[in-house]
Amino acid sequence: MKHLALIVLALGMAAPLFAQTQIPEYRFASGDWQFRGSTLYQNDANARLAKVNLKIPQRGAMIYEFSVRYEGGAENGHGGFGIHIFVDQPHNGESWGAGKSWLLWLNYDEAPYTPGIPRGFSAQVYRSITNSRMELVETISLNEYFPLLQANLDEPIPFVIEANGDTGEVKVYDPADPMNRAYFYFTIDSRYLPLRGDWIALRTNGIKLSFTMD
């Protein structure tokens, strides 16, 4: 169950941000981002640190929901995307980290050079310390589920994440389970609690994606 649910990190995420009736305040920090209606596109497959900041005040228990669709760019054997939650100070330019925050990330890399990152399809959890420093907290191989990912590339995949900034409990639900019974669970170390932030950041690396927000 743990492995399957981490596919959530691969295909999409969201927050009560998109349960709003209007698109929140946003800042295109790097990459080629564009809104078409309520759908957000990242159009540059060559952008390695593409990022958009969205103003979503986060305190206590949060729910992040939205759908993501693959639009191209991973033909070279590499691509990834993720979401920073509880971002305290967004950087409106290209950066590796996103202030103090937590990054949920999906990665596809046929030849990874970073120690600890599995070859192929995997998911990671990072703690962002500054805009230029992050530490890898957890990583897991998802290669056994890669056929499922390939079979759904043409369709938006819905996701749900629950994160409690007071307790540090995070649940990432399995998008293949419409009843939200299966999920990946982890707890953020109490040293970093409580989590507070007024922004999230969506990021892509070497891939084109669209994020549906309604």
* Least confident among 39-48, 82-91, 116-125, 163-172: 116-125
176 part of a folded domain: no
Which residue did the predictor score with more confidence, 132 or 115? 132
167 part of a folded domain: no
46 part of a folded domain: yes
Domain residues for the domain of 7 are: 2-162+188-212
21 part of a folded domain: yes
| pLDDT value at 56 more than 90 | yes
Most confident of 60-69, 90-99, 112-121, 143-152: 90-99
Q: What is the CATH number of the domain that holds 54?
A: 2.60.120.560
170 part of a folded domain: no
149 part of a folded domain: yes
Q: Are 105 and 81 in contact (CB under 8 A)?
A: yes
Number of domains in the chain: 1
Specify the pTM.
0.88
175 part of a folded domain: no
